[in-house]
């Protein structure tokens, strides 16, 4: 078997194993949460008999192992269960929410990834000069501020003072693309500022590491300009670590948007999860947690596979 195929197969198997382990942790974590789901559904005035009947109906009296495998079997068949609070199918409810979260993450990535790579290349080109220092100072400042604080600052200035974009990011399927982009402008700004610094600094570090290689010195001795050396020699050989950090930040854009969605009342998975955590709707929390874990593990797998494919020693084994 070719080394690349073998490594990719190993990574995929490891990813499935990690997802299985994550499902166990999610199930155990939600099972030991304080509070009574039946009490939350029926209210404080419910009789003991009504509570006992509901617990039996929900299968809460079954052994934990039985409940876990029943839940996992349903997930493997595409059945995420039914929400306890409203009786709606979770997969159906999550479909639109996941689409909205991916829509927000896509536009944040479309802006932040090219901008981070450009700023990283610019910082390398002017290393230790004022452009490099200015870019580093600004990005370090943004990465040090919590996203909810950045969100509130942008709401105050962009939405209230300047009245450029709405402060609440409400979208629906009947809206045009332009209207949706106008609605999510401030959340996209927040997410871009949050992930930009990390990607830019890792791009800069990866290219500077490659710039210390012998073949870069040879290119300099041949009289090639710095921009050409960075573009044709340093950047292509720094792709693997850059892809890794980009994928990690893309995972954050999908998984870590809970705070941003809550701040802007955005109808995504994060807002859906928070709403049902407060209602102790365990099946919804489990489904959201599993989807977030699958996205995070999946994007990390993509980063690993790209790193493998970018390694010339694996592509051309002796």
Q: pTM score, two decimals?
A: 0.87
Identify the bridge partners of residue 82 per DSSP, sorted by sequence position: 89
Among 201, 40, 52, 190, residue whose Cα is nearest residue 116: 201
Could you tell me if 52 and 304 are in contact, meaning their C-beta atoms sit under 8 angstroms apart?
Answer: no
Identify the bridge partners of residue 89 per DSSP, sorted by sequence position: 82
Among 276, 293, 110, 117, residue whose Cα is nearest residue 201: 117
Name, in order, each residue with C-beta under 8 angstroms of 112's C-beta and a sequence gap of 6 or more. Answer: 191, 192, 195, 196, 199, 249
> Where in the chain are the domains?
96-278
Q: What is the pLDDT of residues 222-256, one digit of tens each?
A: 888 888 888 888 887 787 788 888 888 888 888 87
Ranking 34-43, 186-195, 211-220 by mean pLDDT, the lowest is: 34-43
Residue 235 CB neighbours (<10 A): 19
Asked whether residue 95 carries a pLDDT value surpassing 70, the answer given is yes
Q: What is the pLDDT of residues 275-298, one digit of tens each?
A: 888 778 888 999 999 999 999 999
Question: d(Cα 85, Cα 40) in Å, to the nearest integer?
Answer: 9
Q: Identify the pLDDT of residue 240.
A: 77
Question: d(Cα 184, Cα 109) in Å, to the nearest integer?
Answer: 13
CATH homologous superfamily for 96-278?
Answer: MetI-like (1.10.3720.10)
């Amino acid at each position: 078997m070719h080394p690349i195929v073998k490594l990719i197969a190993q990574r995929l198997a490891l990813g499935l194993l990690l997802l299985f382990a994550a499902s166990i942790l999610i199930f155990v974590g939600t099972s030991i949460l304080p509070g009574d789901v039946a009490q939350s559904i029926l209210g404080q005035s419910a009789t003991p008999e009504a509570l006992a009947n509901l617990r039996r109906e929900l299968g809460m009296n079954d052994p934990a192992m039985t409940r876990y495998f029943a839940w996992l079997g349903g997930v493997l068949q595409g059945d995420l269960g039914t929400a306890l609070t409203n009786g709606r199918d979770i997969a159906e409810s999550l479909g639109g929410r996941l689409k909205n979260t991916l829509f927000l993450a896509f536009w944040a990535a479309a802006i932040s990834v090219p901008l981070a790579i450009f700023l990283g290349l610019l910082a390398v080109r002017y290393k230790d000069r004022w452009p490099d220092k200015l870019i580093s100072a600004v990005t370090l400042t943004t990465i040090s501020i919590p996203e909810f604080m950045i969100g509130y600052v942008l709401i105050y200035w962009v939405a209230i003072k300047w009245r450029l974009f709405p402060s609440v990011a409400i979208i629906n399927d009947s809206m045009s693309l332009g209207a949706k982009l106008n609605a999510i402008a401030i959340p996209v700004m927040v997410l871009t500022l949050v992930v930009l610094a990390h990607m830019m600094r890792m791009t800069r570090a990866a290219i500077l590491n490659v710039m210390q290689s012998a073949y870069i010195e040879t290119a300099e001795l041949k009289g090639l300009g710095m921009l050409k050396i960075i573009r044709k020699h340093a950047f292509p050989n720094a792709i693997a670590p850059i892809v890794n950090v980009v994928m990690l930040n893309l995972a954050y854009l999908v998984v870590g948007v809970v705070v941003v969605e809550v701040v802007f009342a955005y109808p995504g998975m994060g807002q859906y999860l928070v709403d049902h955590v407060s209602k102790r709707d365990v099946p919804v929390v489990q489904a959201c947690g599993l989807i977030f874990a699958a996205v995070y593990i999946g994007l990390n797998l993509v980063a690993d596979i790209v790193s493998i494919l970018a390694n010339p020693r694996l592509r051309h084994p002796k």
